[in-house]
Amino acid sequence: MTNLKKTYEAMFLVDASNSDFEAASEPIRTVLDRSKAEMLSIKPWDERRLAYEILGRRRGLYVLTYFNADPSRVVEIEHDCQLDEKILRVLILTKDHLSEDELNAETPATLAARRAAASAAQQQAAEEEKRAAEEVQEKSDATAKDSEVAVKEPANQPDEAPAKGSSEQGISESAKQGEAETDAEPS
């Protein structure tokens, strides 16, 4: 047996009943660990409705995996996948020249998750902006009410100086009119 390891790309179809990716991918990790494969990358590809029922399941989660393993162990990995009820199907291909870009490439599931996170962040920012605008509006309304109260308060409080002046002015004007009338009558 040789210890020369090759790089492989595998697409696993697992039971999608578990929404947690770590738990759903656990059977894959177990099979690869048992075969002494070195895991390079594991990520969700997509969850889909199956064209036909497989082992009583109508939905499946596709998981893309890159790993290094001894070529003699690949048959063992495929056999273990057939025995595990949570792994519905597997396709293993040799990937001789795996670049870092291929290893870290986005999958439809990771791309959708990133978009959903960005959308949620954008929605949260819009809500925070709306709350800030409401706070500014509330402060400006409160300031406007305070200024209305400040304008109304002097008119509501009795001010003695203008009242005396106006009453004295009213009395002196009527007295002047009365004098003018008496001067005009004797003729």
> What CA–CA distance (Å, rounded) separates 108 from 183?
107
Q: What is the pLDDT of residue 184?
A: 55
1 domain residue, yes or no: no
Establish if 175 belongs to a structural domain.
no
For residue range 40-64, what is the model confidence (pLDDT) as tens digits?
989 998 888 888 888 888 889 999 9
pLDDT tens string 122-145? 888 888 888 888 888 888 877 777
Q: Does residue 154 fall inside a structural domain?
A: yes
Q: Is residue 17 located within the same domain as residue 63? A: yes
- Provide the domain count of the chain: 2
- For residues 138 and 75, membership in a common domain is answered with no
- If asked whether residues 60 and 143 sit together in one domain, one would say no
If one compares 122 and 34, the residue with the highest pLDDT of the two is: 34
Planar angle of CA 70, 65, 88, nearest 5 degrees: 100
Residues 160-183 have pLDDT tens digits of 555 555 555 555 555 556 555 555
Q: Which residues constitute the domain of residue 30?
A: 6-105
158: confidence class by pLDDT, cuts 50, 70, 90: low
